[in-house]
Structure 1
Amino acid sequence: MRLSEIWRTTTFRLSLLYFLLFALGAVALLALVYVRSAVYLTQRVDRILAAEASAEMTLPRSALRQTIDDALIVNSRNSLFALFAADGTRLTGNLRRLPEGLQPGGHPVEMAPTADFPASARLVARRLPSGDILVVGRAIDQLREIRRIIASALIWSGVLTIVAGLACGVALSVGPLRRLRKLQAAAHHIAAGDLRRRMPVSSRGDELDMFALTVNYMLGEVERLMGEVKTSSDTIAHDLRTPLTRVRAQLHRLGLGAAVDPADIARVTAELDEVLERFIAILRISELETRARSAGFAATDLSRLLQQAGDLYQPLAEEAGVQLTVSATPGMIVDADAKLLFEAVSNLVDNAIKFSGKGGEVRLQLDGRPEGPRLIVQDDGPGVPAEERTAVLQRFYRSERDKLTPGSGLGLSIVAAIVRLHRFGLELQDSGPGLRVVIECHPVDVNI
């Protein structure tokens, strides 16, 4: 894993940005601490100097000179005392002459080390009633050392914060980068044709997992479609071979005969119509699966749609000896393409009547639930085995026991495509006996 790859990761850049902002905040805080500490310590020294000068100004000259001499004997390294005449002549103390810039009664000043006092000092001068000038000072090497320590801490804190930010950025980037490696590896396997492979998903539930779940859902759809495409060629060849063979045989027989029987023409036409119906159904499924917009969607009354389907298929049911009943809760509204949804219901009702047989019963039912309406088409025919309920939704799939029943095996595929387009749920259940097809719809709050 190269550093250039880590640098390009969003995690590293965000981490670095956050730590740089944190470093700037820390530097600003330490700078404030430094300034406030330096000001406080300086003001503290100034207050001590002012207090000492005020105390000594009350003494007469002789007593003041003795006090200065005694103070220097006790602490001449850190204290500075001097008494000057009005003309600047030194009377006593450890300072030979008045420093430049030091004004009696003015602000304290700092003095660099000299031969008289080998340390940096802060001085204050006061004029006595006699006209003499009293100078009081203190060494500030400790104050400067504290300033240096704070400044050093400021610099090192900034450096360590930046280093820690870089280290944390690298550490935080390694994990996502490894996960991206795994995602890349999975993507390479998928690109090589392994459509059963899925993107790895961790337990974190972060944005990478959200992306992986979305890609896995897409791969599931691609695998399903590719599986159907893979089997379509064989199934089309198998299902169309029989009617085309019969057409060829009948045409050959017609070619040998002297006269053309209209019944033979009708049989050939029927066989070709069956082939055309299958191709039309295939094109219809492709149209539904490639439909990317929902321009035809509108508020649709399911109860009215179900009643219309019942009215349309009632004559067919009576002709087949099947009892068709409709039970619909009124006012069930969904956002849907009414024509497509009617086509799906029609396919289900047509299949139910066809497989129920004479004396059977087909029920169309619409239930209202808080999570959305539920549309049910139920029959009492042979049903669909549990292990085939997913397969029957694929193109051309037909159960072995249904091979002799007329049909293309595309009706439920069209229903599934329409349901997917609407993002509804589709479930095939056992109605004991028979099949129960349930379409789970999403509600819409529309007053009609």
Structure 2
Amino acid sequence: MSNSIRELTRLYLNRVSSPILFTIIITTVFALSTSIAALVAVQVHSTEISDRLYLDTKSTADSYLGIYKLAGPEAVISEIKRQAQFANDNTTLASFWFSKTKTATGTLLVHAPFDGRSSLSGGKEISSVTDVGDESDGRYYGFGIKVDDGWILVAKDSRWVSDSQELLTESILWGLGIAMTIVTIVAFSIAKLSQLRVHSINTVLNKAANGQLNVRCEISPHERDELATVSRGINQTLEQLETSIQSLQQVSSDIAHDLRRPLTRLRLKLEGLSHEHDTKLKNLDSAIEDVDRLSATFDSVLELAQIESGIEEIESKPVELGELCRETLELFEPIAEESGHYLPPITSQNFVTVAGDSNLLRQAIINLVDNAMRYTPAGSEIRISYGFLKSQPYLQVSDNGPGIDANELELVVRRFYRADKSRNIEGTGLGLSLIKAIAARHNAELKLADNKPGLQVTLIFK
């Protein structure tokens, strides 16, 4: 039987929507906890009111005790009768119990006297009260004081306690009902809103799984809850994924476009070897050069893809930029003498370190110097420098060559992009793209600016 009930309950809960189930759980927990708190409050309140009524009864008995000490029991009886004339609703009863005659005189007629607190019932312990009425439960809070001639007995009706408990209970029930209504509405609204947000996130994920990588989760700038954090994480992931896919598509398209001409030339030259025996050695050398250029392009593309993918963790260690710049200067000095370029000595003595991969940073500065020598005429000055820029470490390669037009500064970092001034110069078109990828892996900014004249390329480390 219990298993059947459990199974039916499970099937019912599975069919109930999440907002309704959440509302039921929250409302039930709230009702149970509030009911327990209300029961405790009523009990505490009842005990407190009872104690106060006992104290009030004792105070009345003490006043009769004062009269007794001044004028004896007859004066007490007279005061009790006088009080009874003004209040005949049986809310307050009093009597004097004579120990000799074992009888009580007054409005509180009991079968036996008592000392201190005593709980009495009208019609049972109190014979003088036969009809308690509709407004009283017949319970009285009594207090007795032993004196020489007998006892001073006082009792007060409990209707004040009953009325207070009833009023408190009614207030709690009304408050609980209103609170449960508010909690139900708020809980359902929160659950429904969360369900809609989860549904929106699920819709975005389904669209992304179907190839729509441009979709994003809608997030308000003021939202700071867990779902907003998850949504931001999903958006960042989709942005990176979309960028990676676009880069892959661009690389595929660029490779197909940029390598078509060298392959065509290679095929024609190789065909020429079979027809022109007298020039076959010259054509063969040219074909080998084309093959070398293809290999260099493929190597650069592969290296760029590996750096951008982030699959391989970089070896992050302190790298001293001054030492790196001086090593590069020493490496290129003989090449510069042969090409007619001028590399001035590095004058800075600053000790500047950054956290990163020394091999990748060395490759970045080598590529910068190589690009400067490749795209500037003989006699140009190529300067390597490093230091701090607004407290941020930087390294820089600048030249006084022809430079790059302002409208192309942001374009030259794209893969295979060639500025108009450099279309006839041999190169893969991936140098600055590779440097940008290395900068990104080191959380650095690659900045290109006009050197007036020439080009200024700066890596700023954050």
Q: What TM-score, normalized to structure 1?
A: 0.83
What amino acid sits opposite 1:108 in the alignment? R
Give the secondary structure class of the aligned counterpart of 1:98. Answer: coil
CA contact (8 A) 2:54 2:142 kept: no
Q: 2:457 aligns with which of 425, 437, 440?
A: 437
1:237 matched residue in structure 2: 256
Equivalent in 103, 106, 111 of residue 93 of structure 1: 106
1:149 aligns with 2:158: no
Q: Shift of residue 161 of structure 1?
A: 4.2
1:446 corresponding residue in structure 2? none
C-alpha change, 1:352 and 1:219, in structure 2 (3 Å) is farther
**Contact 2:272/2:283 (CA < 8 Å) preserved in 1?**
no
Please list every run of 5 or more consecutive structure 2 residues that lacks an aligned counterpart in the other structure: 1-14, 133-137
SS at match of 2:122: coil
Q: CA deviation at 1:344?
A: 0.8
One of 281, 285, 302 as aligned partner of 1:262: 281
Name the counterpart of 1:70: 82
Give, as a single letter, the amino acid of the residue that structure 2 aligns with 1:113.
G
Query: Is 1:418 aligned to residue 438 of structure 2?
Result: yes
Q: 1:329 touches 1:368 (CA, 8 Å); kept in 2?
A: no
Contact 2:385–2:396 (Cα < 8 Å) also in 1: yes
Deviations 1:120-152 (A, max 9, x none): 32222334423x343222222113211332344
Q: Does 1:55 align with 2:62?
A: no
- Distance in 1, Cα, partners of 2:408 & 2:29: 56
Sequence identity (%): 22
Matching of residue 6 in structure 1 with residue 57 in structure 2: no
Letter matched to residue 90 of structure 1: T
Residue 279 (str. 1) matches residue 298 (str. 2): yes
Q: What letter is aligned with 1:230?
A: Q
Q: Following the alignment from structure 1 to structure 2, what is the Cα–Cα distance between the partners of residues 107 and 272?
A: 116
- Kindly state the Cα deviation for residue 393 of structure 1 after the two structures are TM-superposed: 2.1
Answer whether contact 1:27 1:157 (CA < 8 A) is retained.
no
Match of 1:314 in 2: 333
**In the alignment, structure 1 residue 349 sits paired with structure 2 residue 369:** yes
Task: Answer with 164-173 or 114-123: which moved more.
Answer: 164-173
**CA distance, structure 2, for counterparts of residue 29 and residue 392 of structure 1:** 76
Among 394, 402, 410, the alignment partner of 1:374 is: 394
- Counterpart residue number, 2:378: 358
Quickly say closer, same or farther: Cα 1:204–1:107, change in 2 above 3 A.
Answer: same
- Tell me how far apart the structure 2 counterparts of residues 440 and 410 of structure 1 sit (CA, whole Å): 20
SS at match of 2:446: strand
> In structure 2, what residue type is equivalent to 1:280?
D
Residues paired across the two proteins, number: 434
Question: How much does 1:179 deviate?
Answer: 4.5
1:5 shift after superposition = 3.4
SS across alignment from 1:110: strand
Shift of 1:20: 8.5
Q: Distance in 1 between matches of 2:43 and 2:409?
A: 74
1:434–1:33: structure 2 CA closer, same or farther, 3 Å change rule?
farther
Inter-CA distance 91–30: structure 2 relative to 1 (3 Å threshold) = closer
- Residue 248 of structure 1 corresponds to 267
CA distance in 1, matches of 2:25, 2:369: 58
Q: Name the CA shift for 1:298/1:428 in 2 (closer, same or farther; >3 Å).
A: same
| 1:11-410 correspondence runs (5 A) | 27=38, 30=41, 34=45, 37-58=48-69, 59-77=71-89, 78-86=91-99, 89-98=102-111, 103=114, 106-114=115-123, 116-117=128-129, 118=132, 119-130=138-149, 132-154=150-172, 156-158=174-176, 160-175=178-193, 177-204=195-222, 206-207=224-225, 208-258=227-277, 261-292=280-311, 294=313, 296-327=315-346, 328-410=348-430
Normalising by structure 2, what TM-score? 0.81
- 1:197 deviates by 4.0
Q: Offset at 1:415?
A: 0.9
Q: Secondary structure at the match of 1:392?
A: coil
- Residue 405 of structure 1 aligns to a residue whose secondary structure is coil
1:200 match: secondary structure = coil
Q: Helix, strand or coil for the counterpart of 2:396?
A: strand
Q: Is the 8 A contact 1:228 1:395 kept in 2?
A: no
Please say if residues 374 and 438 of structure 1, whose CA atoms lie closer than 8 Å, have aligned partners that are also in contact: yes
Decide which moves more: 427-436 or 281-290: 427-436
SS of aligned partner of 1:123: strand
Residues 156, 46 of structure 1: alpha-carbon distance in 2 compared, 3 angstrom cutoff: same
